[in-house]
Amino acid sequence: MLSTRPLSPRASRFEDSAKLSDAVASDVNGIGFIGRSFVRGTKTLAISESGIKPMLPTTFAVATGDYPLSRRLYLYIPAEPQNNWTRKFVEFALPKLEVFSWWTSGGEAAGLNALFNTYKNQYPSVGIINATVAGGSGSAARPVLQTRLAVNNPPDTWQTHPGWELLGQYVGPGYCEPITDLYQSEGWEKAFPKALVNLVSQDGQAYAVLAGVHHGNVLWYNKKLLDKHGIKIGNNITFDEFFAICDKLKSAGISAIGVGDSGIWASAQLFENTLLGVIGPQGWVDLFNGKMKWDDPKVKKAMEYFAKMQDYLNRDHAALSWDQAVKELMDGKVAFTSMGDWADGEFIKANLKENEDFGWVNHPGTNGSFIIVADGFTLAKGAPHKESAIAWLKSIGSKEAQEAFNPLKGSIPARTDVDKSKFDGYHRWSMEEFAKDKLVASCVHGGAAPETFQKALNDAVSSFVSDKNVENFATALVQEAKKVTPNTSGRLQFSSQTIELVSPDIPPDAPPGYADDAHGAAKLNIIFHFRSGSTQLDNKALADMRRLVELLQNSNYHGQSLLLFGFSDNYGGNRLNSIISRERAQAVAGQLQRRGIVPSLVTGYGKALPIAPNDTGEGREQNRRVEVWLR
């Protein structure tokens, strides 16, 4: 900025932008200031403003206003233009953004609006096209979206569930653009829990940003109605207690459980919650990775409970949507509804008071477990308005948007650095549960299994609510489960608390060959450690070896290549460290081979890529290791 200083007398002024540009181009010492469309034969320079990284005037940086020398040109029209074409022209001139979702219920629309408002504050010039297709859980929206994607007419961005839905339905067929750069530039790698980042990532690339995380297994109740009947709900409820209350209400002429299953998923949700209540989080992992079968006695027990629940349902359930069932709860027509905490969004929208008008507890048997139903947004490959879409994703990942959206939607923010005082009692409870519970992915909401299985579950639930035949229900699901080919990489994490797959970035100082070796592979959180100078596995390694063998023998992982990478600490010369690190990997390989498992690659990288500082004994111990990777 010149401020009050005069322009140097040696500077030239031009009235014609093209001439200025050409004069700079023909003078080796020339430098000029010009509109972006007149760059012509000159070279643009990156400039910076106090403390901000220098940036080039890319269309994107100029459009967002981040480029320090950008300025806007405004079109002004009368508030009530006489000529309709004037308004149409301005609408046409605005940059656009098409956002596709199924958020149409009271709480959902309020949450979506909060996201729009935050975006409009941050990027005022963009006109939002709100493309919604009503129907809880996306039951009607997803087929519409699939058709649009198949005929190459994508919205710029769409709502999706992480896990199988995102990765299987959209990333796999190539409908999404990776947004890994945003995780770096926006600092999301630190702001979001790693477990959540893993859920939207494949082969080291991230494909969605999460707006919030819903809690699927919540049992909501009308507090005043229960009080009237002398019923108190504590911090936990068992199936026996729950059924005893249902009986009591039934004899008073009240339908205990409200369901709105005009979209069958709502009934499937009641079953899913009941299933978790019986088999627990480990059972859940086993069921979805094929270790437990769908005709296991425990699964059948859950089916029986679910059948019993049908005796207490609201009679009009098949005619209602999920939010109409929540409304029946608010109106005192039913006492309970077992529903994800988007129901809380409805209570908030209706101005109900928590612990006065309504209350909640984990669905029977599910204390300590949390069904994740997270909502993310993607970037379409070939997005018609790519810049607006990138800005939308940036906005959703911002603290501001997460603090505006989640208090209205019932979900908790995916970011961990939000101001908790902006959240009510329910949200704070859910945040605590999320932090301490075992997390499992929802099948009904597309996280835990591929779409074909999700649909098969809905169909099986549909038949079951009419015939209540446990054998048929179980057999149908056993058959369907056989058709599922599990894909582990990056997704093993959410179906297992114990073994995590991570796809780390390849650091710039990685030794030669490492990038190729690790390409497309993911690291297990099983690491073997060694004493100084030793290449022998010690007793401590036994338990890890057992876990690893068990994992690799699981049919889900057959066909995956196993890679073993050895490392040393920084004591000793390079040559020796390189040999020792390879021998360590060979020691692990030897143990595995004795158990019938043959790794595809066994190698050592010496003292490269330390995972801890080498200046303490503890750090060096960490670095003397063998990492296990799967591809």
Binding residues for ligand GAL (CB under 6 A): 102-103, 108, 136-138, 214, 342, 373, 375, 445
Nearer to ligand GAL, 101 or 395 (CB): 101
Residue 263 Cβ vs ligand GAL, minimum distance, rounded to whole Å? 9
Nearer to ligand GAL, 101 or 568 (CB): 101
Residue 444 Cβ vs ligand GAL, minimum distance, rounded to whole Å? 8
Residue 355 Cβ vs ligand GAL, minimum distance, rounded to whole Å? 23
Residue 345 Cβ vs ligand GAL, minimum distance, rounded to whole Å? 8
Nearer to ligand GAL, 192 or 530 (CB): 192
H-type alpha helices, 511-600 = 514-518, 541-553, 574-594
Nearer to ligand GAL, 158 or 239 (CB): 158
Cβ atoms of residues 473 and 303 within 8 Å: yes
Nearer to ligand GAL, 102 or 360 (CB): 102
Residue 308 Cβ vs ligand GAL, minimum distance, rounded to whole Å? 25
Nearer to ligand GAL, 289 or 321 (CB): 321
34 contacts: CB under 8 Å, gap ≥ 6: 17, 20, 21, 24, 42
Instruction: Report d(CA 347, CA 333) in Å as an integer.
Output: 15
Residue 342 Cβ vs ligand GAL, minimum distance, rounded to whole Å? 4
Angle between helix 342-349 and helix 399-409 axes, rounded to 10 deg: 80
Instruction: Report d(CA 110, CA 410) in Å as an integer.
Output: 11
- Give 353: exposed, middle or buried? Use CB within 10 Å, 0-12, 13-18, 19+: exposed
SS3 317: helix
Nearer to ligand GAL, 375 or 437 (CB): 375
Instruction: Report d(CA 273, CA 371) in Å as an integer.
Output: 8
**Phi, psi of 241, rounded to the nearest 5 degrees:** -60, -40
Look up residue 412 and give its DSSP letter. B
SS3 201: strand
Instruction: Report d(CA 119, CA 402) in Å as an integer.
Output: 11
Residue 212 Cβ vs ligand GAL, minimum distance, rounded to whole Å? 8
SS3 397: coil
Look up residue 420 and give its DSSP letter. G
Nearer to ligand GAL, 162 or 281 (CB): 162
Measured CA to CA in angstroms, residue 107 lies from 142, 327, 331, 348 at distances of 20, 12, 17, 7
- Picking from 473, 423, 416, 450, the residue whose alpha carbon sits closest to that of residue 301 is 473
Residue 324 Cβ vs ligand GAL, minimum distance, rounded to whole Å? 12
Residue 567 Cβ vs ligand GAL, minimum distance, rounded to whole Å? 41
Instruction: Report d(CA 589, CA 355) in Å as an integer.
Output: 58
Residue 114 Cβ vs ligand GAL, minimum distance, rounded to whole Å? 13
Residue 215 Cβ vs ligand GAL, minimum distance, rounded to whole Å? 11
Measured CA to CA in angstroms, residue 69 lies from 5, 66, 398, 559 at distances of 19, 9, 24, 55
Nearer to ligand GAL, 372 or 541 (CB): 372
Residue 408 Cβ vs ligand GAL, minimum distance, rounded to whole Å? 12
- For the residues of 95-149, what is the DSSP string, one character each? -EEEEEE---SHHHHHHHHHHHHHHHHHSTTPEEEEEE--SGGGTTHHHHHHHHH
How large is the C-alpha radius of gyration of the chain? 29
Residue 348 Cβ vs ligand GAL, minimum distance, rounded to whole Å? 14
Cβ atoms of residues 229 and 195 within 8 Å: no
Residue 211 Cβ vs ligand GAL, minimum distance, rounded to whole Å? 9
Nearer to ligand GAL, 164 or 629 (CB): 164
Nearer to ligand GAL, 447 or 604 (CB): 447
Residue 134 Cβ vs ligand GAL, minimum distance, rounded to whole Å? 9
Place of tokens 């048997």: 365
Chain-centroid distance, C-alpha 76? 41
- Picking from 280, 294, 285, 303, the residue whose alpha carbon sits closest to that of residue 481 is 294
Nearer to ligand GAL, 441 or 518 (CB): 441
Nearer to ligand GAL, 286 or 344 (CB): 344
Nearer to ligand GAL, 307 or 372 (CB): 372
Burial call 374-395: b when 16+ CB within 10 Å, e when fewer: bbbbbbbbebebbbbbbbbbbb
Looking at this protein, which amino acid is placed at residue 501?
Answer: L
Contacts within 8 Å (CB) and 24+ apart, 610-619: 610/567, 610/569, 610/570, 614/569, 614/570, 619/569
Nearer to ligand GAL, 138 or 277 (CB): 138
Residue nearest to ligand GAL (CB): 136
Percent helix / strand / coil, the chain, rounded to 5: 45, 15, 40
User: What are the residues facing 426 on neighbouring strands?
Assistant: none
Nearer to ligand GAL, 103 or 358 (CB): 103
Residue 328 Cβ vs ligand GAL, minimum distance, rounded to whole Å? 16
Cβ atoms of residues 207 and 176 within 8 Å: yes
